[in-house]
Each structure stands twice: as structure tokens, then as C-alpha cells.
Amino acid sequence: MQTLERRVRDALMGPCGVSPGETVIVAVSGGADSTALLHALVRIAGDCGLRVEAAHFEHGIRGEESLSDARFVRSLCARLNVPLREGSADVPRLSQSWKTGLEDAARRARFAFLQECARAAGARSVALAHHMQDQAETVLLHAVRGSDGRGLCAMRARNGLFVRPMLETRREEIRDYLRALDEAFCEDSTNASEEPARNRVRLQAMPALRTVNPRADEALCRVARAAQRDEAYFDAALDSLMPPVRQAPYGLCARLAPLRGMHPALRSRALLRMLRQAGIGQTPCERVEAADRVLCAGGACGLWGGWRMEAGWTHLHLLRPDFAPDPAFELPLQAALSGACLPWGGRLVPSPFTGRTGDGLLSQAFAADALAGAVVRYRRPGDVIRPFGSGGTQKLKQTMIDRRLDRPFRALAPLIARGSDVLWAVGVRAAEQSAVRADGADICLTFDGELPWMGETT
């Protein structure tokens, strides 16, 4: 077994987390790196108990050269007796449609294809051929773009479905391995172009750095390993300190006090964890810094893709760009009492009045005739409530503000109302009209569910 094969085996069975008996898909472009990786995996598959398949994606960018690469990969897989899955896309068209750069569109289309290949093959690992120099370039690119410690982690041996077993292997070792096998490979002519940023780093920046430190590639890879260790520690610390992040009709919310009590190093990671949970992808550092200022001082800011972050009195809110409360939402109270699902996933449960009037938050007793014609809905302009003992009506919005209810919660609190008169703002306050008469015609309503602001309002 050659050195490269042994290193690939150790990485697969170690940090890549591949187990005997698995199917591993190798992403093969036809270039030197992926050709070497396929050869190595085929040669160690028997010892490791692995089944190897290959996948090739044609991007529709390089014309005949790209088609020639596809023919080479077919021939290579036939010689090695490796099943091959092929896919293609018109990446320039996708780039225009997705309003993104050509490189990003190619990456997204390619990764979607590889994910589909893994699903079809029942594989939990797709092997990519990134090597030590690729890792060093990634660290440098992230650093000059102002990334923090998370960006300096660069590429991991395993990231979800994708494994990279050659991150400790130098480009020269890969070429030596192919020469020893007398194996050909394809050359991508675009690698000589200095237009892409990564190519400029590889062709200009890295050679300059090697005049300072001949082992600059290894040094930058050590930076990545150190950053990954630090991030593992921060992630573990965050697991014990992070408040629960709740799904909300508008997006996500989490309690502010625990977030504000965190060290800034953890707080920024907590924000990124919320963003990832919301499905927001890569977020520029300056946006994360703006979000942190909002978290600490209050207010709101725009994020990525139209998402917004808002800090209220008690919670931090992530609001989807397409969300607006449905002003037409209205449910007859009788339907709600029959088990219909209400906002926040709760239900109204009726029970006979037993002498307890309820807390006015999650339970409340009513004179039965006070509920005639009542509906369940959201807040609307002109809504008023007559709080107990107030001697008059008050705008519902002002009542909610007085109770320190965050703006997103105010829009979505379940209300029981007749016309513009609110009888009960669930989780906020009940109205004087709900007063029971103890004449046997009274009913108690309980909201069976969780409202995130409960326990946080005053």
C-alpha cells in the first residue's frame, strides 16, 4: 500500500468518520486530484470494506474541453470497474437565474447533484479531493475577507455528507502517485486564469508567502486545525448556555437575557447558530456585527436575503422577508372550542366554572353570554380592551406595550373578541366584560399550548 493510499485510509476511518460496509461516492472531475483519490479508494476498498462509486458533473462552461473530461472519466471508471453517475447543467443560465456568480452557481449545482447521487445510492459519504494546498488557500482567502475564527477553520475532514480525506496530502504527492501508476489526468485550462480570486491566491499570493516561509502551506493548515479545535470548544460551551430557539409564525425567537449575558465570543456564535437554524446561509461578518449591536442595544437591522433581526423587551426575533400576519384570519369561537389549532400551535379547552376565575393569561372564566358571537383572531387597528378596574377602555396596542410585549408578539397574540372589543388577549390580559356572575351560566377557557413571552412580561 502506497503512502497516499495509507493516508487516505487513515483519514476515512478516522476524522472523516466512514465505517466499514458503507458506499462512498467519489466526486471525479478528471483532474489529477480526483483521479488520484478514485484510484486510492478503489485500492483500499477491499481492506476497508467499502463499496466505491463515482460521480461526474458537467457544468456546461468549458465547451469541448469539458465534454472531453467527461469522456475521460467514463473511460477511467470503466477501467477501474467503478459504477459512474453523471449529471450536467447549464451553469451560465443558472448563474443568471439565481443572480449569483458563475463559480457560486457551479458549486451549488454540483453539490445538489452530488447530494442526489448519495441519496440514490444510499450513501452517507461523498469524497472530495481537496488537498493541503487547497486548504491553505481557503484559510488565506477567508482571512483577507475579514473572517473570524469560524472562517479560519476552512474545510473540515467531514462536513455533513462530504468528506475530504486528502487535506493532509500535498499536491506534489498526488502527482507523484499518478506517475507511479502511469495514470493520465485532465488539465483544466481555467486553472491558469488569474481572474478567479482563488486562482490569484494560488498563482500569486502563495508563491510570495513561500519566500517568507517555505512551509507556508503547512503553517496555514495548522491555523485551520487550531481554529477547528477552538470552535469545537466554543460549540460545546454554547450547547450549555444557549437559550431554546423557538419556531414562530414569523421565523424564530429566543430569550434575550441569556444571550446578553454571554461573552461576546459566544454571543456571535449564538447569533450564527440562530441564522443557520433559520436557513440563512453564509452571512458577512459586518452583518453579524450589526446583529450583535441590535442584540445588545435593541432596535432592528437587515440581514441576508431580506431577513430582519429585531430585539424587543424580552426576546430576539428573526423575521422572514415574506411574513405578514393575515388580517383576515378569524375563527368562530365555537370552532376554536371544538379543537381547531390556534396561533402558536395551541388549543382552547373549555371546562365548567368551578369558582376560580383564572389568571387572565392562560386561563380565564367568562360569563357565557359574554362570548356570544365572539371570534378568535389577531389584533386589528381600532381594537380596545376594558381592563378590570380601569373604569374605561384602552387601546389594545397600548395595553400590550404597557405589558412589555414585543412587537412581533403583539401582532400574533391570539385574541377572543366581539367586534373591536377584545374580551381576552391570551397571554396578556382579560377584559372586564368577561366577569363571571356565578349564576350557573359561566365557563372557563384554558389555552393549552406555549406562548414564548409567558413568564417574560410584567
Q: What is the CA radius of gyration of the chain?
A: 30
Rounded CA-CA distance 300/294 in Å is 6
Based on the domain organization, do 252 and 223 belong to the same domain?
no
Listed residue (171, 132, 130, 129) closest to 26, CA to CA: 129
What domain count does the chain have? 3
Can you tell me whether residue 450 is helix, strand or coil?
Answer: coil
Quote the CA–CA distance of 21 and 316 in Å, as a whole number.
45
Distance of alpha carbon 87 from its chain centroid, rounded? 26
Query: Is there a domain that residue 342 lies in?
Result: yes
Q: Of the residues 275, 299, 319, which one is the last residue of a structural domain? A: 319
pLDDT at 44: 97
Instruction: Determine which of 26-30, 165-169, 235-239, 438-442 has the lowest per-residue pLDDT on average.
Output: 438-442
Whole-number pLDDT of residue 437: 59
pLDDT above 90 (res 102): no
Positive/negative CA dihedral, 428, 433, 439, 443 = negative
- Give me the pLDDT at residue 438, please: 57
Percent of the chain beyond pLDDT 70?
Answer: 96
Q: What is the mean pLDDT of the chain?
A: 91
Q: Is residue 82 part of a domain?
A: yes
- Check the annotation: does 33 bind a ligand: yes
Is the domain of 252 the same as that of 361?
A: no
Asked if the structure places residue 238 within a domain, the reply is no
Ligand-binding annotation for 30, yes or no, is yes
Identify the top-confidence range among 104-108, 123-127, 376-380, 444-448.
Answer: 123-127
Those residues whose C-beta lies under 8 Å from the C-beta of residue 68, and which sit 6 or more positions away, are: 186
Domain match, 61 and 202 both: yes
Is 454 within the bounds of a domain? no
Q: Is the pLDDT of residue 101 over 80?
A: yes
Each residue's pLDDT tens digit, 263-322? 999 999 999 999 989 888 667 778 888 999 999 999 999 887 789 999 999 999 999 998
Tens digits of per-residue pLDDT, 3-44?
999 999 999 999 999 999 999 999 999 999 999 999 999 999
Grid cell listed for 183: 495514470
pLDDT at 458: 38
Domain that holds residue 424: 330-448
Query: 255-259, 332-336, 448-452, 454-458: which range is least confident on average?
Result: 454-458
pTM for the full model? 0.79
